[in-house]
Amino acid sequence: GRAVTAILPSAASQGQVAGANMAGADAVLKHRTVFNSLSLFSHSLVTIGDTTEDTDSVSEVGSAGQHSQFFYRDGCLCGAILLNQPERSGIYRYLVEEQIELDTSCVPRAELLALPKEAWSDLVASGSV
């Protein structure tokens, strides 16, 4: 199964599902994407999804102290670590949650992420992303 996410929003969801099921419902717990953010002095760190060893990863080192590391499973982005790039965290969280297939040999291009999922599929199939 999945690892337990020991944070308040996840615990609240787990409690609602457990309570409903104890009352006779057939509720199913929806998986929540792990999302953590930390600001310390003049730096920020964001982790999204699964960033464990059992994934493939592609790294990109940016300028001015920025770093990104992306984790893939079965051709889909399953996690990311972003150092000093909090403005992109929502974009990458969306990619993790929607399990959009990406070329795992490159870093996702954030400027194209406003396109609909179908357009992404076409770009990935053509090798443009």
pLDDT in tens, 19-53: 999 999 999 988 778 888 999 999 999 999 988 87
Which has more pLDDT, 40 or 110?
40
- Average pLDDT value for residue range 73-81: 88
- At 104, is the pLDDT very low, low, confident or very high (cuts 50, 70, 90)? low
Question: Cα angle vertex 30, ends 83, 14, to 5°?
Answer: 95
- CATH topology (fold) of 33-126: Enolase-like; domain 1 (3.30.390)
Domain with CATH 3.30.390.30 in the chain: 33-126
What is the rounded average pLDDT for all residues in the chain?
Answer: 81
Which has more pLDDT, 25 or 61?
25
Cα–Cα dist 78/37, whole Å = 17
